[in-house]
Amino acid sequence: MIVGNRKEFREILEMLGSRRRVLVLGCNECVTVCGVGGEREVGVLASELRLYWKKEGQDFEVREHTVERQCDYEYIDQIRGFVGDYDAVLSMACGAGVQYVAETYKTKPVLPAVNTTFLGVTLEQGVWSERCQGCGSCILDMTAGICPIARCAKSLMNGPCGGSSGGKCEVGNDVDCAWQLIVDRLSESGQLDRYEEILPVKDWRSGRDGGPRKRVREDLKL
């Protein structure tokens, strides 16, 4: 899933500037699972805004609304009837959702309330960890199911570097060395000899280096 962090309240206030009629728009998908932009978090942010502006003695109108997904037009279209009543949409979706809402309502300011961070997994309640960078050409078959692109701080295809120590990465003791994990897994499955293969230079064109990506499936088009 896509994982994000909510922006600090101060930063959100600065983005809003003098706008006081705000639609706080949640998304029921990834950002709900990672506890940052679902119905509950929409309620929390809306309350924070109301309390703050009330204390400041200002006039305001904050509306809460959460759609199924902000990355699909049919759901974004559901706010068409009332979005015009607000000065700004404060989107709590990932960056894709924020942009799609903005594309849909061309003259409406759509502001991000969330910093989108990574594609990851839930390690335990309240803990998420990065697993994928969407490079567009998966090599997990060659790296024992552990991605060095996403999980090695240097994205080394032939690691580990000299900074791997006690299973941890040189960038921090809370970061696992991806290549230690790869070696351990190869070792446990009796495939350590595979480590000796030199992984070739990667073709990054399938990733963001090739420019913004678009996928078309003619067979699925209506």
Partner 1 sequence: MKTNSRIEKIWESGGFIVTSECGPPRGADGDVIRRKGELLKGVVDGVNVTDNQTSVVRMSSLSACVILKGMGLEPILQMVCRDRNRIALQSDILGAAALGINNILCLSGDHQKFGDHPQGKNVFDIDSVQLIQTVCRMRDEGRFLGGEEVKGKPLLFVGAAENPFADPFEIRAMRLGKKVKAGCQFIQTQCIYNVEKFSRWMGMVCDRGLHEKCAILAGVTPMKSVGMARYMKNNVPGMDVPDDMIERMKGTPKEKQAEEGIKICVETIERLKEITGVRGIHIMAIEWEEKVAEIVKAAGLLPRPEV
Site residues (CB under 8 A) for partner 1?
A: 153-167, 170-171, 177, 180, 183-184, 187, 192, 195-196, 198, 200-202, 204
**Which residues have a Cβ under 8 Å from the Cβ of 173 and sit 6 or more positions away?**
none
Task: In angstroms, give the least distance from the CB of 206 to partner 1.
Answer: 14
Identify which of residues 64 and 184 has a Cβ nearer to partner 1 in the complex. 184
Question: Are the C-beta atoms of residues 178 and 148 closer than 8 Å to each other?
Answer: yes
Identify which of residues 37 and 160 has a Cβ nearer to partner 1 in the complex. 160
Identify which of residues 99 and 155 has a Cβ nearer to partner 1 in the complex. 155
Task: In angstroms, give the least distance from the CB of 99 to partner 1.
Answer: 22
Task: In angstroms, give the least distance from the CB of 78 to partner 1.
Answer: 38
Identify which of residues 13 and 153 has a Cβ nearer to partner 1 in the complex. 153
Task: In angstroms, give the least distance from the CB of 190 to partner 1.
Answer: 14
Task: In angstroms, give the least distance from the CB of 6 to partner 1.
Answer: 22
Identify which of residues 79 and 183 has a Cβ nearer to partner 1 in the complex. 183
